[in-house]
Structure 1
Amino acid sequence: MAVIKATDSDFNEVLNSNQKVVVKYYADWCGSCRLFAPKFKRMSDDESFANIAFVDVNAETSPEARKLAEVTNLPFFAVFKDGKLVDSVAASKEEAVLSLIHKLDV
């Protein structure tokens, strides 16, 4: 599944139209964010995560979406279930993000 790019204008719609969502918050200047992008894309293509929407949000241009997850650092990942925040982590390690995704009861 392709990674969905979301902004403040459509973020809530993305959350409400997908039961399980994992969001990567990034900034264009963030080197670790750029390095993690291919890993995030690979996760989104993983068959075992077929029922999860993978979403990219630019933390600098989408302050409302950033506030919903209480973003503290970048890259920052958050998982939402039924439109509600389940958990989040500021990390650049794939294992930390996979652990977060598993909180959605994959």
Structure 2
Amino acid sequence: MAVIKATDSDFNDVLNANQNVVVKYYADWCGNCRLFSPKFKRMSDDEQFTNIAFVDVNAETSPEARKLAGVTNLPFFAVFKGGQLVDTIAASKEDAVRSLIHKLDV
């Protein structure tokens, strides 16, 4: 599945349209964010995650979406189930993000 690009204007719509969502918060200047992008795309194509929406949010241009997850560092990941925040992690390791995704019980 393609990674969805979301902004403050459509972030809540994306959360409401998908039962399970993992969000990657990034900034254009963040090197680790850029390095993680291909891993995030690969995870979005992983068959075990077919019922999860993968979303990219620019933390600098979407302050409301950033506040919903309490972003403290970049890259920052959050999982939402039924529109509600489940858990977050600031990490650049794929294993840590996969562990976070598994908290969605899918």
**TM-score tier (shorter):** over 0.9
Which residue of structure 2 lines up, in the alignment, with residue 51 of structure 1?
A: 51
What is the alpha-carbon root mean square deviation over aligned residues?
0.2
Could you tell me the TM-score, scaled by structure 2's length? 1.00
Q: Which runs of 5+ in 2 are unaligned?
A: none
CA deviation profile, 1:28-54 (whole Å, cap 9, x unmatched): 000000000000000000011000000
Which residue of structure 2 lines up, in the alignment, with residue 22 of structure 1?
A: 22
Fraction of identical pairs, as percent: 87
Aligned residue-pair number: 106
Separation in 1, partners of 2:102, 2:81: 12
Runs of 4+ in 1 over 3 A off after TM superposition: none
Deviation at 1:13, TM superposition (A): 0.1
SS at match of 1:71: coil
CA deviation profile, 1:73-103 (whole Å, cap 9, x unmatched): 0000000000000000000000100000000
SS at match of 1:97: helix
Separation in 2, partners of 1:47, 1:90: 24
Separation in 1, partners of 2:46, 2:23: 16
The alignment status of 1:33 with 2:51, answered yes or no, reads: no
